[in-house]
């Protein structure tokens, strides 16, 4: 599936980090982009800059959405259905992470991880599947994490939500594959974003030493992986790990 003036890429969590870069990259290769985020002004800023790069038949749209709130997701999906009228690629990049040992983690924090990282993606997929099924084509790319497969100290809630995302995505791939819709997980390792910026210099160096490529990844490299999954028409139900070999080397 290649970008064209008629192709639409919807990115939830598109106002920052990986999601923002995915918006920029997909616009550059020819997609009309719908940027969805709970940060309305930032989302509008992203779209304003995208319009200067490329503009398809629809142009680019922004929509406010908090994926942890079902009513917000339903409203955003309805907006997309009415305005964009199609969804060729859906990228679920909205996510939260609050490191803490389980015994110190508050119940509200556990629910927030699950509602945002897992349930939110389920709701956006449910909301936009009617478009994809009608089109008989579509690529769903859920942004997971390597810790969803291998776990990590202090990230029990985050890891659980990302592990659930794998099971959900593989089940969905089986449900909708016969209708031309694919679903995959992109699982980044340590990527240079605001989430990793708070890691101390010493801890960053220890992590880098455990990565065969000897550096953190970039958001641009992750966006290229999204492009691959959007175009890889015979790939579904898979987890594409983008971590510089860290999990392979036992670095986490």
pLDDT of residue 204: 81
Which helix (H) or strand (E) covers residue 170, if one does?
helix 156-176
**pLDDT at 55 (0 to 100):** 47
Q: Which CATH number fits domain 8-240: 3.30.300.30, 3.90.1150.10, 3.40.50.720, 1.10.3720.10?
A: 3.40.50.720
Query: What gap in Å lies between CA 113 and CA 122, rounded to an integer?
Result: 14
Put the strands of the sheet holding 61-64 in their side by side order.
Answer: 61-64, 32-37, 8-12, 89-92, 138-143, 181-188, 239-242
CA distance 252 to 155: 12
Residue 102 and residue 99: Cα distance in Å, rounded?
9
| Domain range list for the chain | 8-240
| Helix or strand run (H / E) with residue 142 | strand 138-143
Structural contact between residues 216 and 191, judged by C-beta atoms closer than 8 angstroms: yes
Neighbours of 174 (CB within 10 A): 11
| C-alpha to C-alpha distance for 23 and 35, rounded to whole angstroms | 7
Q: What pLDDT score was predicted for residue 117?
A: 93
Catalytic residue chosen out of the listed positions 31, 112, 158, 234: 158
Q: Which two structure tokens, joined as six digits, stand for 205?
A: 């160096």
Rg of the chain taking only CA atoms, in angstroms? 17
H/E run at residue 186: strand 181-188
Element of type H or E holding 188: strand 181-188
Q: Which two three-digit tokens encode residue 243? A: 């971590």
**Annotated catalytic residue 31:** no
Half-sphere exposure of 129 (CA within 13 A, CB side): 16
Instruction: Give the residue among 161, 219, 167 at the shortest CA–CA distance from 189.
Output: 219
Q: State how far the Cα of 7 lies from the Cα of 28, in Å rounded to an integer.
A: 12
pLDDT at 1: 45
Output the CA torsion sign for 4, 218, 141, 86. Answer: negative
Q: In angstroms, what CA-CA distances link 115 with 1, 73, 165?
A: 30, 12, 11
Report the DSSP pairing between strands 32-37 and 239-242.
unpaired
Q: Is the pTM of this model over 0.85?
A: yes
Q: What DSSP designation does 4 have?
A: -
Q: Does position 54 have pLDDT exceeding 70, yes or no? A: no
Instruction: Quick: pLDDT tens for 203-246.
Output: 888 888 888 889 888 999 999 999 999 999 999 999 999 988 88
Mean pLDDT of 167-191: 96
Name the band, by pLDDT with cuts 50, 70 and 90, for residue 10: very high
Query: Is the distance from CB of 252 to CB of 210 less than 8 angstroms?
Result: yes
CA distance 197 to 191: 9
pLDDT digits (tens, 9 = 90+) for 68-83: 999 999 999 999 999 9
């Amino acid at each position: 599936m290649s970008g064209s003036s008629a192709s639409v890429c919807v990115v939830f969590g598109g106002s920052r980090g990986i999601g923002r870069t995915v918006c920029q990259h997909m616009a550059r290769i020819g997609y009309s982009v719908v940027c969805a985020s709970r940060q309305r002004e930032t989302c509008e800023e992203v779209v304003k800059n995208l319009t200067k790069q490329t503009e398809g038949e629809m142009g680019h749209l922004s929509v406010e959405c908090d994926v942890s709130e079902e009513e917000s997701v339903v409203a955003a999906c309805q907006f997309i259905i009415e305005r964009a009228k199609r969804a060729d690629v859906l990228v679920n990049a909205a996510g939260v992470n609050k490191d803490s040992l389980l015994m110190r983690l508050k119940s509200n924090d556990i629910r927030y991880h699950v509602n945002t990282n897992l349930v939110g993606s389920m709701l956006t997929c449910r909301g936009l599947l009617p478009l994809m099924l009608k089109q008989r084509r579509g690529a769903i790319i859920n942004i997971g994490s390597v810790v969803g497969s291998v776990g990590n100290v202090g990230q029990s809630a985050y890891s659980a939500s990302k592990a659930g995302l794998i099971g959900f995505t593989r089940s969905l791939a089986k449900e909708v594959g016969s209708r031309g819709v694919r679903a995959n997980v992109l699982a980044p390792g340590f990527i240079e974003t605001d989430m990793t910026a708070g890691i101390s210099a010493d801890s960053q160096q220890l992590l880098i030493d455990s990565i065969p490529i000897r550096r953190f990844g970039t958001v641009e490299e992750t966006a290229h992986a999204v492009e691959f999954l959007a175009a890889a028409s015979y790939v579904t139900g898979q987890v594409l790990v983008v971590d510089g070999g860290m999990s392979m080397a036992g670095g986490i």
